[in-house]
């Protein structure tokens, strides 16, 4: 039996602990949500409980674990979160060291989208390609860049934040504090917000898109409704999709021109929602790219869903820990 990786996904609202095999199998994922009033210390204990449970149900596989990889939903430097945006307390916890102390296995941590990029590159939409740009259109707009089979880190270790490329100088305020970032226009949340604003401006009571959006609950984003209407040919929904494709093309052409990367993989709810228009997106990215870099340019949808992060810990551990 070959050794496995202990994989941990730490998101803002949920966490997953699983074993991953070197050939890309996710074994016994243990999921848990986070009650809104709980902090990082609570999550840490919940993670330890689930790791202990995995040790009980998979004793043989657990004994062969050589390393632990963690994908964290926020900026990470030197295997530690530097900014905990959704859950208080992570900056005070050295989870990698605690896992090593408690279970005797080396551990490493990377930003969740960089980890997802590694997973899609090794086992999903980027399999067999040397370089790839990954974008995740969810609550925010995360990204990761794989160049010559390695995740690009940069001087501070924060490379890959595609969501903060400026697409509208002086435009909408982004959660990062700057104005006009791609994330402020094309994250799943921002697309939904733009749809709500557009139907308000449109102002026709009889407009079916406005009607469908007005029926959404307070926690439901308007993105999925928008994509459904655009697929049916609704003119306002199509206009919004077109605008979204333009912003995306403008930002995503950066990695084509700077790094000569010709595969772009998009995931997250809105990434999947936009996939019927990927041919158009590809053409628009090509339109912003240097002619020499256009050949073979491809936009693909992420293939692994939530497994992209878990499986990304396999190449991550290989890269960082050599095991
Ligand atoms: Zn930003």
Fold annotation for 4-117+312-321: Nucleotidyltransferase; domain 5 (3.30.420)
Q: How far is the CA of 173 from the centre of ligand 1 (A)?
A: 8
- Ligand 1 centroid–CA 58 distance in Å is 42
Q: For position 36, what pLDDT does the model report?
A: 86
Query: What pLDDT is attached to residue 55?
Result: 95
> Cβ distance 312 to 118 under 8 Å?
yes
The candidate with the shortest Cα–Cα distance to 32, out of 15, 45, 7, is: 15
What is the rounded CA–CA span in Å between residue 80 and residue 231? Answer: 42
User: What's the CA-to-centroid distance between 162 and ligand 1, angstroms?
Assistant: 9
In this structure, the strands spanning 4-10 and 107-111 are unpaired
Q: Ligand 1: distance of its center to the CA of 191 in Å?
A: 15
How many whole angstroms from 182 Cα to the centroid of ligand 1? 7
Domain ranges in the chain are 4-117+312-321, 127-301
Ligand 1 centroid to 180 CA: how many Å?
A: 7
Give me the pLDDT at residue 84, please: 81
Q: How far is the CA of 98 from the centre of ligand 1 (A)?
A: 32
Q: Rounded to the nearest whole angstrom, what is the distance from the C-alpha of residue 171 to the centroid of ligand 1? A: 11
Instruction: Please give the distance, rounded to the nearest whole angstrom, from the Cα atom of residue 139 to the centre of ligand 1.
Output: 13
Residues 6+ apart with CB under 8 A from 253: 285, 288, 289
Buried b (16+ CB within 10 A) or exposed e, 9-31: bbbbeebbbbbbbeebebeebbe
Q: How far is the CA of 318 from the centre of ligand 1 (A)?
A: 31
Give the model confidence (pLDDT) of 263-293 as tens digits. Answer: 999 999 999 999 999 999 999 999 999 999 9
Q: How far is the CA of 88 from the centre of ligand 1 (A)?
A: 21
The CA radius of gyration of the chain, in Å to the nearest whole number, is 20
Task: For residue range 143-172, list pLDDT tens digits in order.
Answer: 999 999 999 999 999 999 999 999 999 999
Q: Classify the phi-psi angles of 26: left when phi > 0, otherwise alpha if psi is within -120 to 50, otherwise beta.
A: beta
Q: What pLDDT is stored for residue 39 in this prediction?
A: 92
CB atoms within 10 A of CB 314: 25
Give per-residue burial for 68-82: e unless 16+ CB within 10 Å, then b: bbbbbbbebeebbbb
Bridge partners (DSSP) listed for residue 77: 80
**207: helix, strand or coil:** coil
Low-confidence ranges of the chain (pLDDT < 70): 1, 203-206
317: burial class by Cβ within 10 Å (0-12, 13-18, 19+)?
buried
pLDDT of residue 34: 86
Write 231-235 long-range contacts (CB < 8 A, 24+): 231/276, 234/208, 234/209
Is 295 exposed, middle or buried, given 0-12, 13-18 or 19+ CB atoms closer than 10 A? exposed
Domains 4-117+312-321 and 127-301 share a fold: yes
- Measured in Å, residue 3 CA sits from the centre of ligand 1 at 40
Q: How far is CA 227 from CA 224, 234, 235, 277, in A?
A: 5, 10, 12, 10
On whether the 127-301 domain is CATH 3.30.420.40, my answer is: yes
- Return the pLDDT at 170: 97
* CA 181 to ligand 1 center in whole angstroms: 5
- Between the CA of 276 and the centroid of ligand 1 the distance, in Å, is 26
pLDDT for the residue numbered 215: 87
C-alpha 240 to ligand 1 mean position (Å): 21
What is the pLDDT, as a whole number, of residue 265?
A: 98
User: How many angstroms does the Cα of residue 136 sit away from the middle of ligand 1?
Assistant: 14
pLDDT at site 205 = 59
237, 274 contact by CB (below 8 A) = no
């Amino acid at each position: 039996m070959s050794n496995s990786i202990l994989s941990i996904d730490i998101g803002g609202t949920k966490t997953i602990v699983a074993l991953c095999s070197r050939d890309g199998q996710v074994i016994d994922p243990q999921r848990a949500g986070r009650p809104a009033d709980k902090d990082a210390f609570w999550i840490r204990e919940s993670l330890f409980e689930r790791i202990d449970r995995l040790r009980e149900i998979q004793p043989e596989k657990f004994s062969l674990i050589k390393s632990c990889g963690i994908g964290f939903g926020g900026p990470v430097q030197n295997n530690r979160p530097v900014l905990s945006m959704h859950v208080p307390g992570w900056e005070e916890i050295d989870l990698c060291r605690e896992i090593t102390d408690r279970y005797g296995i080396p551990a490493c941590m990377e930003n969740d989208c960089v980890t997802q990029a590694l997973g899609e590159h090794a086992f999903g939409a980027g399999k067999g390609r040397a370089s790839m740009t990954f974008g995740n259109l969810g609550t925010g707009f995360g990204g990761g860049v794989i160049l010559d089979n390695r995740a690009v880190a940069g001087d501070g270790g924060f490379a890959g934040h595609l969501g903060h490329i400026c697409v509208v100088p002086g435009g909408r305020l982004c959660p990062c504090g700057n104005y006009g970032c791609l994330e402020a226009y094309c994250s799943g949340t921002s697309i939904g917000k733009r749809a709500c604003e557009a139907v308000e401006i449109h102002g026709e009571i009889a407009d079916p898109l406005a009607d469908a959006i007005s029926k959404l609950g307070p926690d439901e984003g308007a993105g999925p409704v928008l994509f459904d209407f655009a697929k049916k040919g609704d003119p306002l929904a199509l206009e919004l999709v077109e605008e979204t494709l333009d912003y995306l093309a403008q930002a995503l052409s950066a990695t084509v021109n700077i790094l000569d990367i010709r595969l772009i993989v998009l995931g997250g709810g809105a990434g999947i929602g936009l996939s019927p228009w990927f041919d158009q997106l590809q053409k628009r990215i090509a339109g912003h790219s240097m002619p020499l870099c256009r050949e073979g340019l491809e936009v693909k949808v992420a293939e692994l869903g939530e497994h992209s992060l878990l499986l990304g810990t396999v190449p991550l551990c290989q890269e960082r820990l050599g095991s």
